[in-house]
Structure formats: structure tokens, C-alpha cells
Amino acid sequence: MPILRVTPVVAGLAILLLVVVVSAAGIGPYRIAPGDVVAAIAAWIGGGHIDGQIAAVLFQVRLPRIAAAICVGGALSAAGAAYQSLFRNPLVSPDILGVSQGAGFGAVVGILFGLPVAMIQALGFVTGSLTVILVVTLAWSLRQRGDILMLVLSGIVVGALAAAAISLVKIVADPYAQLPMITYWLLGSLASIRPDDIAVVAPTVAIGMIPLFLLRWRISVLSCGDDDARALGVDVRRTRQIVIVAATLITASVVAISGIIGWVGLMVPHLARLLVGPRFDRLLPVSILIGAAFMVVVDTIARTAATIEIPIGVLTALVGGGLFVWLMTRRGSRSIWRRE
């Protein structure tokens, strides 16, 4: 597939996201026509009259959940793109490096002790950060076999340890009150999202996004190799530290409200790379838009495809696994990563 110009791609994806949002807002047990969705949102912005039932369904149930899906999908995709560019490895993602499992462990502990959402989020960020530090330290201590390979293997090992710790928490949790909540949360869900949750998470995601956008050119240079980046005046160590902290903040923040949702951070950057190539300054906005639209679609399927809600993590694994196999079978996928 030829590399496309980034501006038309971003504009097209923004329109696609808007269409997906309007469609998703109208789908459910109480169906609302797309025209009524647009009219209600316009009336809400302009202070006009809105039908009471439509207002309750849209602004108290569906739109907060759609906003959370946009936040989670965009955040995980941005973090995945940042990790893949930073470590020059298309197999790296928040899942592979153990960030999700580490943040999930902190969040599960927060649920075990009945902490409020803000404390669960903070605990998830701390444990996610400690996980990354442990993974990088372990990889650097074994770098005689190759930094990238050791980094991925270290992430798998530390992620497995975090998963084991989560299992231990599940054993000691109350089987009637806490265990069902923890189990369902670990499968990923936006069913319990409230507007207050978004108000807490969105600012931290925005704070994590700012360094990625400001450093997008340096990250693009860094993806060419440390020696080339230093030759062009990039402070490799500081840039890498800032990007890891920002991506970890983003991942831990959304994991705290959505649970562990796999494959998004791995798969979406690959789809974006097929459209605009591997340069991070192009990859970042395209990944965010694709990830946001993908998560809105998946969440809509999760809440409407069956009489009971399907965990989002199950759907992303089914879709993501199939798409990733398709990407691996494509000719020239490796050359696309190396282009430019």
C-alpha cells in the first residue's frame, strides 16, 4: 500500500470518527435516529430544549461511555506508537512491556482495599512506572544479547510476574463482593463509566499526550537509531525517559478505568503505519484517531451484540489477533517499518 499524505488521512479519519460516534450514540435498546442525536447535541451546546428521554439516554449513559472509549482507544494507541518508535520494535506495546499488567496490579489492589477512583488511578500509575523501570533495568543488565530482544523478553517476564501477583490478589479477595468485580474489570469494560471518571482521567491523558506531541520530531529521529539521533543533537537518554514516563502515565490512567484491554496498543500503530509510514510525527495523530474509532465500534458491539454485555478485552483479542495475523502475512510489512 502506498504511503498517503498525512493531512487528508487525518481529515478523513476525523470525519470517520465523527460518523462512528453519532452512529454509536443512536444504537442500543432505545434507538435514536442520527438526526435526533445531532439535534440533541446541538441543542445541548446551544442551551435549547431536548426531549427528556433522549437527554437521559444520550448524556447520562451513552455519550459518557463513548467519550471514555475515545479516550481509552486513543490513549492506548498513542502509547503503543510511542513505545514502538522509541524502541524501534514493531512488537513492543504496553502489553508486551508489562505496563498494562503492572498498572492492572496496582488497580486491583486499589479495588481490594475499596479505594476511590483517583487513588486507584494513582496506584496504577505508580505500579505501571515501577514495572517499566524494572523491565528496562533488567534488559540493560542483559544487553549483551541484544537490547531490543532482551527488552521484550524482560517485559514478558515482568508482565508474567505482575499477572501472578494479580492472581494472588484474586485469591485473597472477597469471593462474593470483590472477586467478581476484579475478574470483570480485568477482562476490560466501560459499563460502569461515569462522567466523573472521565473528568479524572482525561486531564492525565492530556498531560501525557503533550510531551509526545512536543517531542514528536525527536522521537522520529530517535527511531533511526541512537547514534544518528545524537549526531543530530537529540539528547537520547532524556528524550527516552520523558517518552517512557508519558506513555506510562497514559496507559496507567486508562487502565484504571477500563481494565486491561489488550491488542489495541499493538495493532493500531501497525494499521496507521500502513497509511502514513513509520515517522512518529505522522504516526501519532493517525494512531489516535484509528484507536478512538476502533474502541467506539468495539464497545458498541460489546453492549449490543448479546443480551449480556461482552467484555471488551475478549472482542479486542478476537479482532486484534486476526488483524495481526493478516498484517504478518502481508508482503513488505517489514519494509514499511523501515521506510524513510
- Cα–Cα separations (whole angstroms), residue 61 to 2, 17, 74, 144, 333: 41, 19, 20, 53, 41
Q: φ, ψ for residue 27 (rounded to 5)?
A: -95, 135
Sorting pLDDT into bands at 50, 70 and 90, what band is 147? low
Domains and CATH numbers, the chain: 6-329 (1.10.3470.10)
Across the range 266-282, mean pLDDT stands at: 89
- Which residue, among 336, 215, 205, 324, has the nearest Cα to 268 in the 3D structure? 324
Q: Is the pLDDT score of 153 beyond 90? A: no
What pLDDT is attached to residue 190?
85
Q: φ, ψ for residue 46 (rounded to 5)?
A: -85, 0
- Cα–Cα separations (whole angstroms), residue 39 to 24, 46, 68: 15, 10, 22
- Which residue, among 292, 262, 316, 295, has the nearest Cα to 74 in the 3D structure? 292
Q: Is the pLDDT score of 220 beyond 80? A: yes
User: Using one digit for the tens of pLDDT, what is the confidence trace for 156-198?
Assistant: 888 889 889 998 998 888 888 788 778 877 888 888 787 877 8
Across the range 77-101, mean pLDDT stands at: 81
What pLDDT is attached to residue 12?
94
Q: Are 98 and 296 in contact (CB under 8 A)?
A: no
Buried b (16+ CB within 10 A) or exposed e, 260-269: bbbbbbbbbb
Residue type (1 letter), 253: S
What pLDDT is attached to residue 340?
46
Q: Are 212 and 247 in contact (CB under 8 A)?
A: yes
What pLDDT is attached to residue 1?
56
User: Using one digit for the tens of pLDDT, what is the confidence trace for 22-37?
Assistant: 999 999 888 889 998 9
